[in-house]
Structure 1
Amino acid sequence: MFDVKKAPPRGRPFAVWRIVVWMVMLLAAVGFVINGYAAVVIGQAVLAMSDPVAAEMNPRIALAWSVGYALAAFATMAVALAALRWREGARKAMRVIALVLAAWAAWTAWMAFGQWQQLGVVLGQAGLPPDLLMAGTKHRNILFIGVLMKAVSVPVLAWLSWVLGTLGVRQQFSAPAL
């Protein structure tokens, strides 16, 4: 009497890599906003400085860094969004971006670990004022948390780059986009 209609089979199964790509996209968005704002602030500071002060400090390097970082973060957001929309070219680009981000996280974690060690030596000296000791300890704890987060992100980003090249994921991208 009543025909039961079945839903069409799903073309793409649940994928953990999509969650990681979302995280990369969201973190890139945070970096874009922070560095975009920093570029505006530094740009206003450059315009307000006199020539001798600007020659001594050279804030244009910081401005170039902030603008470059904001552009790289924007490109990362665009590629991640395209990968989430099942674009084949974005899958290949996201593999490269994940490897670059893993290398960047490893290098910056190594640098931050060195700073953490140096700050520990400085804070271990006798005769530091209590307020300086407290501020230095807080900064050292923040550095350590950053090192841990970057150390965790390196294998996750390397895994993302690997999984985006596996046959199963490549086949998912070859299915027609929704």
Structure 2
Amino acid sequence: MPVMARAESGPASRGFALWRVVVWLLLLLAAFGCVQYFSHAQLLWAHRANLSPADSAAMQRMLAWDIGYLVAALVLIVLCAGCILRQAWARAPLRVAAGMLVLWALVSGGMMVAQWPQFDRASAEALAQLGHDAALGEAVVHARRVFRITMALKGAAIPVLLWLAWRLGTPAVRMQFRHRR
């Protein structure tokens, strides 16, 4: 029996495509997020017996957020995998997901920028009080660095995700996706 192979349609599907690289990066970041949210949820679950009733309610809220983020990251992984495999069902939902991620980055980044003066003042006061404790001082400096890097990454992600959402809607990219038979 001869082997049947389906040829890719048109020259648009061959060669390097930056949008595919961005989708791969998004997939990897979503997978990393899944690991982080799952690890945090496991840690919370392991410590649930040692908590007071008031702390238990707070822990359940944190666990609910972890599960919500985990589900969202898993959905994003499925959409990215579908786009990498150029399945037509995944293209439009990934555009919506990219738009939602832009909104989330805008809101959370805006909140971080609004909290920066307070965070900067509190960390400067902590550094002044911890003068002789090098390990705690390094932890505060590390927290400041992570805060700045997070704000910068959110700022950089916004135009990239907007570009991805736009690019997935262009006819040249749309032609590369296969519909189910």
* TM interval, short-chain normalised: 0.7 to 0.9
Partners of 1:145 and 1:12 in 2: how far apart? 35
Structure 1 residues 78 and 165, CA gap change in structure 2 (3 angstroms): same
The sequence identity of aligned pairs, in percent, is: 32
Query: Structure 1 residues 115, 139: CA separation in 2 closer, same or farther (over 3 Å shift)?
Result: farther
* CA deviation string 1:108-142 (max 9, x = no partner): 22222233321222345595331465533331121
Deviations 1:126-173 (A, max 9, x none): 953314655333311210011001100010001100110111111111
RMSD: 2.5
**Counterpart of 1:128?**
129
Runs of 4+ in 1 over 6 A off after TM superposition: none
Equivalences, count: 168
Question: Based on CA coordinates, which of the two structures has the bigger radius of gyration?
Answer: 1
CA distance in 2, matches of 1:136, 1:115: 16
For residues 73 and 176 of structure 1, do their structure 2 counterparts lie closer, same or farther at Cα, with a shift above 3 Å needed? closer
Unaligned regions of 5+ residues in structure 1, if any?
1-7
For residue 12 of structure 1, what is the aligned residue in structure 2? 13
Question: 2:175 is matched by which residue type in structure 1?
Answer: Q
Structure-to-structure mapping, 1:29-40, within 5 angstroms? 29-40=31-42
1:55 maps to what in 2?
54
Normalised TM-score (structure 2): 0.82
Distance in 2 separating the partners of 1:68 and 1:93: 18
Structure 2's unaligned 5+ residue stretches are 1-7
C-alpha separation between the residues in 2 aligned to 1:68 and 1:32?
A: 11
Cα offset, 1:11, TM superposition: 5.8
